[in-house]
């Protein structure tokens, strides 16, 4: 029987070809249950809440989201922005939180807040908020006596003692002032999505107050199919003022607020805030505006006195992390640093005295996953074997092993969650030939059960397509400075070594992202391979998970080193006997869209065709924290900004170009593309464009995805495939 054809329409239709592996997996506080989100049986775009019993291996749905979703409910602007920042495209239950003792769960659905009582016989569900309000940043208090959230730029509490007494903690949030809200820069660039933090004893709450009055107002246009809106948005363009921030400590008993001394500096970033186990000390990470310095301070909340505990310095920039852990038993803390050129973990006394490094070597730690104080071991994900594979490791606090023991065995990419008692872990694993599967393990690595095997056997949605799954191969090439550049290449399917195939370079190229992974990849790539293309992906310098020394060369000028590294890969691609060097294409989104433009303008006609989606074209149109991290302040590096933009190279553009952009993009503003359109028109350059009304940066949604990927497929057929001038 002939295998079915893989089409763009099928990729974005139901059932999901990737299978049904759950997401947002977490242990209950007692470690007896595992909760997770799974696609609804009615829609792959809506998520339901499930639970799994560790004792008996049974799984059941806790809450079906279709009974809670209101089709008339309009998301608030803050919620829309938050989902865009977190790249959330699903609906239904998209987040949830366990109570500290594991007897309840809370979750928002389209701004309404729900409480699920697991101690009752019928798992009673109640709505804690009114349909007229909109709650964000929902949290349980550390002892479970309150639920807190942000509403209308102020912090609110609900007391969970049966009375459901509502209490408002701050009152001056309005207009440009917001309390407890993670502002745009915090969410988009610092990956801090909360703006308030409970003390462990529930007596105090630390919170950030932001004032955007200094941020210049600019007009942002959102063009929809039948509507045109102009937003007066306070967007912190690089080189301009950020929001002013204050850090307060609210006393729940005294109903008062103490404002902490941040050193008299307005132009700083409040990167991270954590409470120490003593309930009285607040740890605050303050990053300088130029991001070359990160300082960790301890504040005594009784009198506001602060102490500088440690400082991280860099000649380029400091990457933020979430790997600060305080040890209750020993009064010490674990801290992550890239001072060696690679991210590693270090053990400190509370006064800032370094005790010992816990990990070391020419490989980076990804993130800490658990601390077992009783047995004095920590657990973390890292890249000891290769940047292309992520595994779980453990190391002793007292006598660290070198190298640290590896707990996950199967080659590929492992995303792990560990129970609070560090007795078990959940492993979400995949590789290039294996879709994501979820399993339960003892902490020593022994597999106990499959929560979702997701095996490619009969009945799996991808089973009919499995025999045509294109082969993916990994290797390295040397960069100009000798550093290894990891790449992966996908051969056309079916493959004939005597043929010469067109090839497409799939590029991102920007910092903070890694493309070359041994994981289940995009089915769009598989579609292209079956259309007769070779696919090439390379992590150039600047990419994450290769070490800080690998990232640093992009500092001061963007697009130069990245382009040179990608062209190293192109030369290798052209050397393959089965690749037609006269039919090379390039495709990228966001920074990848920017790289597509730079490659087509700076590569001397190497590429016959390229697709740039939501590209940055002028870095002066991007925000402070991201842009200044790599290019400094525009007044201090005017030449670097000019050389990093695409406009100086427009006259060198060669090849067929398709530009795509969402017309409501609030990240890479649509202005980036309209400015490029005008420059290309003024220079009489031929190009094509496709804009999407109402779409933001991710260009999400089934209909938009089908249209844009089919448009890209037609474009490449017309420009790279011989004998198909009309793309048919």
Q: At what angle do helices 560-575 and 591-602 cross, to 10 degrees?
A: 70
**622-678 confidence digits (pLDDT tens):** 999 999 999 999 999 999 999 999 999 999 999 999 999 999 998 899 999 999 999
Q: Is 156 a catalytic residue?
A: no
| pLDDT (average), residues 607-636 | 98
**95-126 confidence digits (pLDDT tens):** 999 999 999 999 998 888 999 999 887 788 99
Residues near 38 by beta carbon (within 8 Å), at least 6 away in sequence: 20, 22, 23, 47, 48, 50, 61
Q: Is 386 a catalytic residue?
A: no
Question: What is the Cα–Cα distance from 17 to 468, expressed in whole angstroms?
Answer: 14
Structural domain for 526, as ranges? 470-658
User: What is the predicted pLDDT for the residue at 83?
Assistant: 53
Q: Is residue 67 part of a domain?
A: no
Asked whether 253 and 244 are in contact (CB, 8 A), the reply is no
- Check pLDDT > 80 for residue 60: yes
**432-441 confidence digits (pLDDT tens):** 999 999 999 9
| pLDDT (average), residues 367-374 | 97
What's the total number of domains in the chain?
A: 1
Q: Is residue 407 part of a domain?
A: no
Q: Is residue 605 part of a domain?
A: yes
**120-148 confidence digits (pLDDT tens):** 877 889 999 877 778 999 999 999 999 99
Q: Is residue 718 part of a domain?
A: no
Q: Is residue 283 part of a domain?
A: no
* Residue 287, strand partner residues: 269, 294
Asked whether 467 and 500 are in contact (CB, 8 A), the reply is no
Which of 137, 618, 665, 666 is catalytic? The answer is: 665
Residue of 196, 188, 4 lying closest to 87 (CA atoms): 188
Q: Is residue 357 part of a domain?
A: no
| pLDDT (average), residues 371-391 | 97
- Check pLDDT > 70 for residue 72: no
Q: Is 665 a catalytic residue?
A: yes
Asked whether 664 and 695 are in contact (CB, 8 A), the reply is yes
Q: Is residue 7 part of a domain?
A: no
Question: What is the Cα–Cα distance from 565 to 570, expressed in whole angstroms?
Answer: 9
Q: Is residue 298 part of a domain?
A: no
User: What is the predicted pLDDT for the residue at 414?
Assistant: 98
Which of 419, 590, 632, 644 is catalytic? The answer is: 590
Question: What is the Cα–Cα distance from 179 to 512, expressed in whole angstroms?
Answer: 29
State the CATH number of the domain containing residue 570: 3.40.50.1820
- Check pLDDT > 50 for residue 725: no
């Amino acid at each position: 029987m002939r295998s079915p054809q893989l089409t763009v329409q099928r990729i974005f239709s139901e059932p999901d070809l990737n299978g049904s592996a759950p997401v947002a997996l977490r242990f209950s506080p007692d470690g007896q249950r595992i909760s997770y989100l799974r696609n609804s049986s009615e829609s792959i775009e809506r998520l339901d809440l499930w639970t799994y019993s560790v004792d008996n291996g049974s799984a059941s749905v806790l809450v079906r989201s279709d009974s809670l979703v209101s089709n008339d409910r309009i998301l608030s602007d803050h919620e829309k922005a938050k989902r865009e920042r977190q790249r959330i495209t699903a609906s239904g239950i998209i987040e949830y939180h366990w109570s500290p003792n594991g007897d309840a769960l809370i979750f928002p659905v389209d701004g309404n807040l729900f409480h699920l009582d697991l101690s009752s016989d019928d798992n009673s569900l109640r709505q804690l908020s009114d349909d007229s309000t909109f709650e964000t940043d929902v949290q349980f208090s550390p002892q479970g006596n309150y639920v807190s959230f942000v509403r209308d730029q102020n912090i609110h509490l609900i007391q969970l003692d049966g009375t459901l007494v509502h209490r408002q903690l701050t009152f001056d949030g309005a207009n440009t002032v917001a309390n407890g809200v993670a502002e745009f820069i915090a969410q988009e660039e610092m990956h801090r999505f909360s703006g308030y933090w409970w003390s462990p004893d529930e007596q105090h709450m630390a919170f950030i107050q932001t004032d955007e009055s200094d941020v210049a107002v600019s007009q942002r246009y959102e063009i929809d199919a039948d509507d045109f809106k102009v937003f007066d948005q306070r967007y912190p363009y690089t080189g301009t003022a950020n929001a002013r921030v204050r850090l307060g400590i609210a006393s729940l008993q005294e109903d008062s607020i103490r404002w902490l001394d941040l050193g008299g500096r307005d132009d700083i970033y409040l990167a991270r805030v954590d409470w120490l186990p003593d309930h009285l000390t607040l740890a605050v990470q303050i990053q300088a505006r130029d991001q070359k310095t990160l300082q960790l301070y301890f504040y005594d909340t009784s009198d506001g006195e602060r102490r500088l505990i440690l400082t991280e310095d860099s000649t380029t920039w400091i990457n933020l992390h979430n790997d600060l852990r305080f040890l209750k038993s020993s009064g010490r803390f674990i801290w992550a640093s890239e001072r060696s050129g690679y991210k590693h973990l270090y053990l400190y006394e509370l006064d800032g005295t370094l005790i010992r490094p816990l990990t070391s070597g020419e490989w980076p730690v990804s993130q800490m996953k658990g601390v077992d104080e009783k047995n004095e071991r920590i657990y973390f994900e890292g890249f000891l074997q290769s940047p292309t594979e992520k595994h779980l490791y453990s190391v002793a606090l007292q006598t660290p092993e070198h190298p640290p023991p590896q707990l996950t065995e199967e080659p590929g990419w492992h995303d792990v969650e560990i129970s609070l008692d560090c007795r078990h872990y959940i492993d979400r694993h995949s590789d290039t030939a294996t879709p994501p599967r979820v399993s339960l393990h003892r902490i020593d690595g022994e597999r106990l059960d499959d929560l979702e095997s997701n095996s490619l056997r009969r009945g799996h949605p991808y089973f009919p397509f499995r025999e045509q799954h294109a082969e993916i191969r990994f290797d390295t090439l040397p960069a100009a400075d000798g550093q290894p550049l990891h790449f992966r290449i996908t051969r056309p399917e079916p493959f004939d070594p005597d043929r010469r195939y067109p090839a497409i370079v799939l590029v991102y190229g920007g910092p903070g992202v890694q493309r070359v992974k041994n994981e289940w990849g995009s089915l769009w790539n598989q579609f292209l391979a079956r259309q007769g293309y070779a696919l090439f992906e390379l992590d150039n310098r600047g990419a994450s998970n290769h070490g800080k020394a690998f990232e640093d060369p992009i500092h001061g000028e963007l697009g130069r080193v990245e382009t040179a590294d990608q062209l190293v890969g192109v030369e290798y691609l052209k050397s393959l006997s089965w690749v037609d060097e006269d039919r090379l294409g390039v495709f990228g989104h966001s920074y990848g869209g920017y790289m597509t433009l730079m490659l087509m303008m700076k590569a001397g006609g190497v590429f016959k065709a390229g697709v740039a989606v939501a590209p940055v074209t002028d870095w002066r149109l991007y925000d402070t924290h991201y842009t200044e991290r790599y290019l400094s302040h525009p007044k201090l590096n005017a030449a670097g900004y000019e050389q990093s933009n695409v406009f100086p190279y427009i006259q060198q553009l060669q090849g067929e170009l398709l530009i795509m952009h969402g017309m409501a993009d609030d990240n890479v503003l649509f202005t980036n593309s309209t400015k490029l359109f005008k420059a290309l028109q003024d220079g009489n350059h031929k190009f094509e464009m496709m804009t999407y009304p109402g779409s933001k940066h991710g260009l999400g949604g089934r209909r938009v995805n089908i249209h844009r990927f089919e448009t890209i497929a037609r474009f490449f057929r017309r420009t790279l495939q011989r004998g198909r001038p009309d793309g048919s």
